Amino acid sequence: MSFLKELEETFEVYRARDPAIRTKWDVLLYPCFHAMRSYRKAHELWVNGHHFRARWISQQAARRTGIEIHPGAVIGKGFFIDHGTGVVIGETCEIGDNVTLYQGVTLGGTGKETGKRHPTLEDGVMVSAGAKVLGSIRIGKNTKIGAGSVVLKSVPEGCTVVGVPGRVVRMKDQVVPREKLDQSHLPDPILQDLRVLQRANGELVEQMLALKEEVRELRAGQEHTESIEKLRKCLEPEERDYEEVGDCVFADFI
């Protein structure tokens, strides 16, 4: 493929996902473009067994672009990294077509695995800024991962994942159009949990107040009963102890 042809195809990919790009020459200003050109050279060397030369090229590209792509990774068509600084893609990563990453994304391992130790991203996945996808897990097609999330388990296709650790907060079977990708308007599971706790706390407070009122009424009723009992005892004639002596009866108390 000629350089101009590559430039035009890359421009179409970038324009579909970044409104900031204006002309095909703007592609030259994107670190992703240069990182991917170096990756393709390095990957070919890696596949042919020239591992040192492949790593050399990838490390040079990482210093220039801030994007570190291991030459052993497998990346499909239409791959796009917006901005790109701090992106790390591990050796055994597999990335499908039309995947989008933002700055600070890590597709890494957990440090406890051998063999296939990095994630697999299927077609149409979007990973927002600062998110970490770790381990030999699979992220299903058209899944969105929210900014700052840490994903440690496989995710079905068509999901939205947010949080630390990442949790599925939305699941739908329909394809998410790329022009509607939005990494800011995502559900907040922590906020949802806080709202649930607030409602539960409010219910508990209401129950405590109701119990307090019942206890007050019971105490008031008990005090009323005790007052009546005291009054009844006061109105009753006082009991006397008597002692008979001959024909006379003497009271102990006169």
Distance separating alpha carbons of residues 223 and 108, to the nearest angstrom = 72
pLDDT in tens, 94-132: 999 999 999 999 999 887 777 889 999 999 999 999 999
Question: Hey, which of 44-53, 184-193, 235-244 has the most confident mean pLDDT?
Answer: 44-53
Domains of the chain (ranges plus CATH)?
3-183 (2.160.10.10), 193-251 (no CATH)
pLDDT at 238 over 70: no
Q: What is the pTM of this model?
A: 0.65
Residue where the block lists tokens 């969105």: 144
Report pLDDT for 194: 80
* Amino acid letter, residue 239: E
* Mean pLDDT value across residues 192-213: 84
- pLDDT score of 138: 92
With 70 as the cut, is the pLDDT of residue 79 above it?
Answer: yes
Q: What is the pLDDT of residue 187?
A: 59
- The per-residue pLDDT of the chain, averaged, comes to 82
pLDDT 10s digits, 26-48: 888 888 889 999 999 999 999 99
| pLDDT higher than 50, residue 200 | yes
Collect all residues with Cβ–Cβ distance below 8 Å to 134 and sequence separation of at least 6: 106, 108, 109, 110, 119, 150, 151, 152
Whole-angstrom distance, CA of residue 190 vs CA of residue 182: 19
What is the number of H-type helices and E-type strands within the chain? 4, 17
